[in-house]
Structure 1
Amino acid sequence: MVQPSPPSTRRPDALAFALLAALGALWGLTPALGKAAFGLGATPLAYVFRSALVAATILFVVGLVRRRPLPLDASGLRFHLGSGLVGFAVPNLIGFLALRHVPAGLFAMVIPAAPLVTFTLSAALGLERATLRRFAGVVVALAGTLLALSPGAALPEGGALGWAFASLAVPACYACSNVFAVRFRPPGADPLALACGTASGAAAWLALAASVPGEPWGPLALARPFPPYDVFAAAQGALTAVAYAIYFRLLTRHGGVFASQVGYVLVLTGLGWGWVLFGEVPGPLIVPAAALIFAGLALATSPSRGPSP
């Protein structure tokens, strides 16, 4: 088993905060792109498969140019397949299935639960210090998330409440992926290689799912004439490649606590993209819901005082 990497000692600089803001903007745009593609007839499996393939190709080419080899030993392959499944393929499929029934801005209120669940899992595994303050933050932020799922907040009256709650599986998958990355990432692996491996693993899993009889979007479907929504899939893949490269850079250089602060940015950018692109206007309960999420994130993701376990 690969041991957890030691926490980074680098203090975040102006570039780190700029990358954090860019990451939040990119991830906030993801649901909006998917919703636009589904309006043109895309299916979730086709969309996620093609975007993963584009992301993996871009990252692989950049890695070749920059001479950042992809780890292909046993630990490397284990990481690529595990991270690609739990951190990309499964949450994106669930998320884009739900997006056909809920507003794009709703995900801006749900995804920040990922660092909270990450902390809970990490504390249970002894990777993070468990304190009353941080557990209180988890409770407060999850209360805000549940409030955001209610009619009158991010979910309109008469919205698909079942799909709204199903979307909670997305941050749960991301949390499992965060813990998996800490415990099993190949030692000394470059962030760009980790990003490429994750996207490549996801593309492999999705190609396997797409090869099921009756699914018309298998790997050979790429040879067919591109429908209009492939523009969105290509854009999604390019954004994913950039976002994953930024995420793993922040994770390896500044640690998971700093990277988790993207939740603050994501709440604002996700709601903003939903409003600009689809005219989604949240209800009045969105203000207290966002306040609870922000307060919970501040309590749960701020570093604990004292030595690490």
Structure 2
Amino acid sequence: MDRRFTPPRSTEGVAVRAFRRRPLQIFLATLFAAAVLTPATGQAAPTAVNPYERGPAPTNASIEAPQGAFATATVTVPASAARGFGGGTIYYPTSTSEGTFGAVAISPGFTATQSSVAWLGPRLASQGFVIITIDTLSRYDSPASRGDQLLAALDYLTTTSSVRSRIDASRLGAMGHSMGGGGSLEAAKDRPALQAIVPLAGYNTTKNWSQVSVPTLVVGAESDTVAPVSSHSEPFYTSLPATLDKAYLELNNASHSAPTSPNTTVAKYSISWLKRFVDDDTRYEQFICPGPGASTTVEEYRSTCPF
């Protein structure tokens, strides 16, 4: 397929984006560290690192590995305890030595249960996130309903769950497969405070998402006949604002179900996107900007890089 990369935006647009994500906290932390003098030497203290960084510096090997740097545990959320969604499973890092973590809710697609996205739970959590994979109230729920349920699951995580003290409620994201992916777009539309979304082979009858202001990684599958990229993932991506931090990753020769089982490409770029925008961790920008070229696993990549 003959496609072109989206050209970078102007330096003015880059500057606007650079200060849009939690500017005050990071700016003040950096300013303070740069201004304070050490008593022993009278030299300026080193500039503070991003306070949201979690885990060691990433490598290709580390983000492609099935297990990240953090040991994880799980908590079952029975449907009877859930409000506004159908229950689920929480995956979380067992260590709290590095502080709180960002959190991400993940929805399955039409007729599916959380088992279809369960592989993402431990994989993402072991990289330094609290993850909840959800069951929906009905297997036939629309993308709009799934978006509401993703937000309800995030609210449960941050206010009610047994791991709420491990979560930074200002650093939240959403993902989903198929109608769950369409649901993540709905969630971003309804809650602009989200830090990142990743629709996987997303399905939604709405094609225009120009109102979304949340950094978005759209993942499509070249051979998807359920949600063909030409009528779903590609229109989703192109309708997002040109000023938005966004990327489009198309899996080479992949079907609609590709994201429902362990997939190194899906994991690698989902981790990188979430780290970059939920954790403001620029160490991961190297993997998504300029991003991958065409390969045996990637058909196409476009983005509004530089972020």
Normalising to structure 1: TM-score of the pair? 0.30
Which one scores higher on RCO, CA 8 angstroms, separation ≥ 6? 1
Normalising to structure 2: TM-score of the pair? 0.30
Higher strand share: 2
Higher helix share: 1
